[in-house]
Structure formats: structure tokens, C-alpha cells
Amino acid sequence: MKLTLQVWRQRNADDAGRMARYRIDGVRPDMSFLEMMDLLNEQLNQRGEDPVAFDSDCREGVCGTCSMVINGRPHGPSRGTATCQLYMRHFSDGARITIEPWRAKAFPVIRDLVVDRSAFDRIMQAGGYVTVHSGPKPDPNALPVEPEVAELALDAATCIGCGACVAACPNGAAMLYTAAKVSHLGLLPQGQPERYQRVQSMVAQMETEGFGACRNYAECEAACPKKISISFISRMNRDFLRATLAEPVNPRGTMDSQ
């Protein structure tokens, strides 16, 4: 296969960046998209040009590192698939492919297609946990959890934190990510004591990071490689309203978790 690639090139955070065009030959349909990028880099390297920097690690769709907007769709055209599990057989010979980084103020570009997603980590640090220390704990079976609840919590917890939801949202909102994290713990009995405090802290952090606001487009759900449902957003909104209206505000930061 021969392809024409339009790729975002940006040397560092201060560089303005531009789209560059490359012709690439020798692509095979059984290559993964990232292997096609490896091939491009091999060819660039041969020509003495800097290879295109892009993030990837596990290459089996679970670490959430890979992050490319392909022809205007985060992770490309296949639903429920991360970039690393996208294969070239989904593209036709001679195709023109535009490859861009996640675009969001909260995800500044580090280089080329690599972005800084530490905003996600800070949302987690604001409250995405159950406060427990390591050490002896009660037997888990002392507190039964309905299998449906456990499954639903797992549906939320399956989030790989890739950021495609933000990239796909016309408003650059991080609602699906935050909602998945909030819902995972909010659904389980272990997460109850900190439930309302957690949703407040995490939503506050999400807003501080400069993500946009949700307008219920549901584009995030369509782009999510784990097909996480926007129903978790509704669930988070409910908890957040309840926390704001009914529960005392006790921001995490003022509390000594010891």
C-alpha cells in the first residue's frame, strides 16, 4: 500500500507546529497503525530527518498510552479500538491520512503527537481513591457486593485513561473520564464514606485543569476504546448535585487523611 500522511510536527511546547506531508510506501494491510508509523520513522531516519514522536507502550489496548487523532477521529475509524489495535486493512491503498495529537488546553503538546496528560493524574490525586493503608483488612466476603453492582463498577473502572474522550469532545470536556473514575468507587460499598467529598474534589480539579463543559453530545462514548457509557456522566452529575446541595463541603485538601 502507498499512503499520503499529513502529520502534525511540533518540536517542543514552545514551537508553533505545522502539518507535514509524507509519502510512505511498503505498508501492508496486516500492519498495525503504529507499525505503519514505525515504518515511517524508519524511512525518516534513513533520510536523516527526525522521526515523528508518538506515545505507545503496551500495544495491546490496555495501557492507554497511544493517542492519535486519525482523520478527525480519536483512535481512528474503528469503534472500541485504541490506536495500537487499529490495523491498516481499514484503509485503502492510496489513502490520505491526517494524524494529529489530542487537542485540548489541558493536554499541551510536548512534541509532535505526544501530549501531556498529567491533568488526568491530578484529577485522580484530588480524590480518586478510598483512604486505606496497607495492612490487615476485614475479609472481603464480610461485605457482599451484588454482582450487578460489581460489574457496573468494573464497566466504569475499565477506563484506560487515554484521553480520547477529551479529544473527541467538541468542547474538550473531561466528563467521561472523571465520571468513570467517580462512578467506579461511588458504586462500591468501600467507596461510600468518601463518596460525596470525592465527587466534589475531583470535579473541582477537573474544572481547574481547564477542560470544557459537557453539552451531552455523547461523542466521548463513541470514541472511547473501552466503550464506556455516558450514563456514568449522569451518575456523576447526580452525586455532584447531591453533594453540593445536601452534603457539607469538605474539600480534600483541608483534611488530614492520616
Q: Does 78 bind another protein (CB under 8 A)?
A: yes
d(CA 80, CA 66): 14
Q: Does 1 bind another protein (CB under 8 A)?
A: no
Reduce the DSSP state of residue 70 to 3 states and report it: strand
Reduce the DSSP state of residue 65 to 3 states and report it: coil
What does DSSP say about strands 96-100 and 3-9: parallel, antiparallel, or unpaired?
A: parallel
Strands (E), the chain: 3-9, 18-24, 69-70, 73-74, 96-100, 109-111, 114-115
Q: Does 218 bind another protein (CB under 8 A)?
A: yes
CB of 58 to another protein, least distance (A): 4
Query: Cell digits for 7?
Result: 502529520
Mask of contacts with another protein, 100-139, x by CB under 8 A?
x--xxxx---xx--x-xxx-xx--xxx-xxxxxxxxxxxx
Amino acid at 134: S
Q: Which of residues 150-179 bind another protein (CB under 8 A)?
A: 150-151, 153-154, 157-158, 160-161, 168, 170-173
Q: Does 42 bind another protein (CB under 8 A)?
A: yes
Q: Does 231 bind another protein (CB under 8 A)?
A: yes
d(CA 225, CA 94): 27
For another protein, which residue of 5, 191, 197, 200 counts as binding (CB under 8 A)?
A: 191
Phi and psi based region of residue 172 (left: phi greater than 0; alpha: psi -120 to 50; beta: remaining): left
CB of 248 to another protein, least distance (A): 19
Q: Does 221 bind another protein (CB under 8 A)?
A: yes
CB of 93 to another protein, least distance (A): 16
For another protein, which residue of 23, 216, 227, 249 counts as binding (CB under 8 A)?
A: 216
Q: Does 34 bind another protein (CB under 8 A)?
A: yes
CB of 47 to another protein, least distance (A): 9
Query: Cell digits for 257?
Result: 487523611
